[in-house]
Structure 1
Amino acid sequence: MRTILLFLLFITTYITKAQSIKVPIDTTIVTNHSATIKGKTIPYKATVGFQPVWNEDGMPIASLSYTYYKRSDIKNDENRPLLISFNGGPGSASVWMHIAYTGPRILNIDEEGFPIQPYGIKSNPNSVLDVADIVFINPVNTGYSRRVPGKDGKLPEKKLFFGVNEDIKYLADWINTFVTRNNRWRSPKYLIGESYGTTRVSGLALELQNRQWMYLNGVILVSPTEIGFKFAGPVEIANRLPYFAAAAWYHKMLPPALQNKDLEEVLPEVEQYAIDELLPAIVKGGYLDQEKKEAVINKMAYYSGLSKRTIRQHNLEVPKSYFWKDLLRDKEGYTIGRLDSRYKGMDIKEAGDTPDYNSELTSWLHAFTPAINYYYQQELNFKTDLKYNMFGPVRPWDRSKNNYTGENLRKAMAMNANLHTMIQSGYYDGATTYFNAKYIMRQLNINGKLTDRLSFKGYRSGHMMYLRNEDLIQANEDIRAFITKSFAAIQKGSKY
């Protein structure tokens, strides 16, 4: 009987513990490391922290997990830049840029970015930690970040966090607290966001400036979304063609006259055609002269690797999803990736209009998921039963009130003469295409007065262009140059 009672007590205790996984609300774990970056040894502290989000009554309603890398051999950090990093989704953790781009440790992958085993982490000799401290932030329900229950045991409402405006507002408050706690108010400050993260940081630029009185030196948009600028219809359709050309060039599907040229020789030609001829043709719709329409079909086929029949059947409007399915259909029977069209997929049937799955994403999750879980536990000494949400539940996401964060970034740049913006895009990204990114840059510079503070960088890879080692090297160098240039300008004062 005594044995049975002890067993029942053990089971009850085990179940209670299993049901009591708690989210840390305000904690830090600090470890010391060093990295060799550009041939120089850089000592740094890594802080895995949780910092609360408070409501108006000063009560915690969420706890955000972050990882903060601070170079430890610099005593005076008043001129030391701080890079504040977000990924996108919405609902994506900060894992992608954290362990594949700017951080001191990166994935164990091959030179082109494909996963290899054993999965794990290696040093990043290209990290920008030599020139800037970095904090990677996970918004609510991503990574280890979670809502926290109140005194009544109930979780706060989702609508406080899951929307364009809500996301920007609470993150701006959180950043203010982080900067204050870590004594970084004097430091030059930069935001970097990827994909939906570009919507986030574009809005944060003005929110931090207007409501937190925190003025930034730079914003980096990696594979940007439309950030509120509207270009549906003919503009969006015409803008697809340069991406089609890039992906077709990579897979050797262009005619020899183009295929034998370098990619960066081909793309300007296609871009000019898309703007000067394709866009006006699409605008005319069914009233486009038939002879002219056939000439456009021929040219689109020439630049895209698609058949004239396919383009004709789609009335010049070939969806990107159909392109991913069709480009290699007759040659190899494979699909190509959405976020990175270098990747190939294999569908059950070669027939159809869209791929069965995103070939690039499944490949990435192979490498990222085990690596980030291993890294936190074994190298950063953070041990928990919390699940690391690569993609967290943040739906529904409210886009109804304000999805014009690009306009907010433009306002912030107009009001702050020291604010610079750089866009980084992969030519093979079919989700947020590089030519749409160029279009966004033009809309930011609608008055032509921001030219000196706007720049675009293109790379021969996809959405996460940093996975390819050659682009990892160059993209980090571009960030270094961007920080150096934008910070140097502040010595002249904030004036026009």
Structure 2
Amino acid sequence: MRKLPLAVALATLLLGSAVQANDHHDDKKDKTPQDKADATLVTPKTAESEGSVSVEGKRIDYKAVAGTLVLNGSGDKESEPQVSMFYTAYFKKAADAGKRPITFIYNGGPGSATVWLHMGAFGPKRVVTSDDSHTPAAPYGLVNNDYSLLDASDLVFIDAPGAGFSRLIANDEDKGKRDEQMKDRRKSIYGIDGDGHAFAHFITQFLSHYGRWNSPKYLFGESYGTTRSAVVANILESEDSVDLNGVVLLSQILSFDTSIDGPQFNPGVDTPYIVALPTFAATAFYHHRLPQQPAQLEPFLREVEQYATGDYAQALMAGSRLDAARKQAVAEKLHTYTGLPVDYLLRANLRVTGGMFEHELQNADGLTTGRLDSRFSGPSLDPMAKDSEYDPQSSAISSAYVAAFNDYVRKQLKFGQDMNYRLYADIDHWDFAHKAPGVEGEALQQSTNVMPDLATAMKTNPNLKVFLNGGYYDLATPYFAADYEMHHMPIPDSLQGNISYAWYPSGHMVYANTESLKMLHDNVARFIQSTDNIRH
């Protein structure tokens, strides 16, 4: 399962001897394969190619660069290479680099490669997957992406440290010291703040390397990538004096107190149940599990949103003071909105987690409902379990993305022939502790919340525009939770006008639905064109 907002995807294989190096000797011993690999990582690499893409009938010729940038540490480690970050950049030919927008794009995880947005959303090639069912095995279709974002901006897809072809670097000749270096790298980079600084460092180095400091600049993050974007935007604005034109957020999670993945472990915090209810309703609507099927989705969701923040929220806030008659009435109303049995809702104390809903909604038919995209269904692994045990959507499309990119990057981008492309970084611990802007000393948040970071970026750059996008069928990061976060941002009312919204009849990966991909492309292209300060 990928892109979990509260858990880290686990390991693929170690780099080992995947990167070739020339054999050489010192006075004592041969270099090991890991020595050779680390030695090659400290040198940036690039492979250039050319191509064209037709975007909604318009041909765009581009140069592609697949490569790495090496990031050094800071302070007393400023001359010490710490991470080699892999990227794929697409530059429109014959464009004025000083006026051409550039968008930095990344997935989440944390620790995920950016294969999903690259091959599913905005790259010049797109992998073909089934809309709401399991995609058959290889060969997979790779087609011209009619909705590549290259018509509006140059694009830079970035793999997180340790994922894709990105690697942490430890290159001391002494093995013991090298092991300590790697331990230090993991500790300093695999966390909210370390990851944010690594991406900000990559972006400023990229701007220098390719002469793009005066270009209109955008961030585009998905899932945990939205958490990252809030942190990176604040670092760029507050520490690097880089004013961004815009930040595009897809399937947002800024405050982890809104997540429906695990509120049962945080008793007394009822917000996740409230903000997830509209997505439960949308999912039950899609699968025709409602006692009375509404004619249209969106008017139905507006009704559910009002109930969620009204009577339902008040009932949950009452806690043990809620009388039996009112509890029964709420359970019956939830039944009309979710399709779940009244007795089940009562036994759940009116509080159903994402995993419980995914397991229960279609359990009578032996089906588990998708998490990342609840339009998907798959056979239940254990019909007697309390929670879902896998995500049918992730299982349905991941193989297609992995196979398509591994083929594309080597045959067309001419990079990574003898390297292992890691879907996820080998992370055994992700540090969710975060020091919010303005906090003095060592005080850290108890629950991750980067709303203050995005708010600070918006206040220090009052021209910064933010565009929030989400899918109605996303149970990983429910759309109404993102809406709730944005309307509780610690910013002046005057800056609320800098935030715009778009919702789609799709899931976490909005672009997995072709109709939604077209809408996403058109919306993001308009957002860039309205904020690039070139035509205005």
| TM > 0.5 fold call | yes
Tell whether the 8 Å contact from 1:226 to 1:436 is kept in structure 2 after alignment. Answer: no
| Cα distance in structure 2, aligned partners of 1:17 and 1:470 | 51
| Cα distance in structure 1, aligned partners of 2:511 and 2:382 | 32
Is residue 159 of structure 2 the alignment partner of residue 138 of structure 1? yes
After superposition, give the CA deviation of every residue in 1:26-75 in whole Å (9 maximum; x if it has no partner). 0111101011112111000110011101123323221001000000121x
Tell whether the 8 Å contact from 1:418 to 1:490 is kept in structure 2 after alignment. Answer: no
Tell whether the 8 Å contact from 2:133 to 2:393 is kept in structure 1 after alignment. Answer: no
- Aligned residue runs from structure 1 range 348-427, under 5 A: 348-402=381-435, 403-427=448-472
| Cα distance in structure 2, aligned partners of 1:195 and 1:175 | 19
> Cα–Cα, structure 1 residues 113 and 301, in superposed 2: closer, same or farther, change >3 Å?
closer
Match of 1:48 in 2: 66
Q: 2:104 is matched with which residue: 66, 75, 84?
A: 84
Is residue 144 of structure 2 the alignment partner of residue 99 of structure 1? no
- Aligned residue runs from structure 1 range 307-326, under 5 A: 307-326=341-360
Match of 1:9 in 2: none
Unaligned 5+ segments in structure 1 are: 1-12, 492-496
Q: 1:254 is matched with which residue: 283, 286, 290?
A: 290
Q: 2:485 is matched with which residue: 411, 431, 440?
A: 440
Q: TM-score, normalised by structure 1?
A: 0.91
Match of 1:268 in 2: 302
Is residue 366 of structure 2 the alignment partner of residue 333 of structure 1? yes
Match of 2:280 in 1: 244
| Cα distance in structure 1, aligned partners of 2:258 and 2:339 | 28
| Cα distance in structure 1, aligned partners of 2:115 and 2:207 | 21
| Cα distance in structure 1, aligned partners of 2:532 and 2:94 | 21
Tell whether the 8 Å contact from 2:462 to 2:495 is kept in structure 1 after alignment. Answer: no
Cα displacement (A) at 1:336: 0.6
Cα displacement (A) at 1:18: 7.0
Is residue 236 of structure 2 the alignment partner of residue 208 of structure 1? yes
AA paired with 2:238?
N
Match of 2:525 in 1: 480
Deviates more, 1:202-211 or 1:143-152: 143-152
Match of 2:222 in 1: 194
After superposition, give the CA deviation of every residue in 1:379-426 in whole Å (9 maximum; x if it has no partner). 111143221111121231112243432211111111212201111111
Residue 444 of structure 1 aligns to a residue whose secondary structure is: coil
Cα displacement (A) at 1:317: 0.6
- Identity among equivalent positions (%) equals 33
Match of 1:458 in 2: 503
Cα displacement (A) at 1:489: 9.0
Residue 121 of structure 2 aligns to a residue whose secondary structure is: coil
Cα displacement (A) at 1:448: 2.3
| Cα distance in structure 2, aligned partners of 1:220 and 1:439 | 17
Deviates more, 1:341-350 or 1:416-425: 341-350
Q: TM-score, normalised by structure 2?
A: 0.84
After superposition, give the CA deviation of every residue in 1:201-250 in whole Å (9 maximum; x if it has no partner). 11111100111111101111111113466686122221121111011001
After superposition, give the CA deviation of every residue in 1:426-476 in whole Å (9 maximum; x if it has no partner). 111111111101111112265422232101211111110101100010011
Cα displacement (A) at 1:21: 4.7
Match of 1:115 in 2: 135
AA paired with 2:275?
N
- Aligned residue runs from structure 1 range 280-319, under 5 A: 280-319=314-353
After superposition, give the CA deviation of every residue in 1:105-146 in whole Å (9 maximum; x if it has no partner). 111224557524422421101111011000011121110100
Match of 2:8 in 1: none
Deviates more, 1:99-108 or 1:445-454: 445-454
Is residue 146 of structure 2 the alignment partner of residue 125 of structure 1? yes
Cα displacement (A) at 1:288: 1.3
AA paired with 1:28?
T
Tell whether the 8 Å contact from 1:219 to 1:421 is kept in structure 2 after alignment. Answer: yes
AA paired with 2:211?
N
AA paired with 2:513?
R
Tell whether the 8 Å contact from 1:336 to 1:345 is kept in structure 2 after alignment. Answer: yes
After superposition, give the CA deviation of every residue in 1:76-105 in whole Å (9 maximum; x if it has no partner). 222211100111011100111011011111
After superposition, give the CA deviation of every residue in 1:184-216 in whole Å (9 maximum; x if it has no partner). 111110001111111111111110011111110
Tell whether the 8 Å contact from 1:61 to 1:150 is kept in structure 2 after alignment. Answer: no
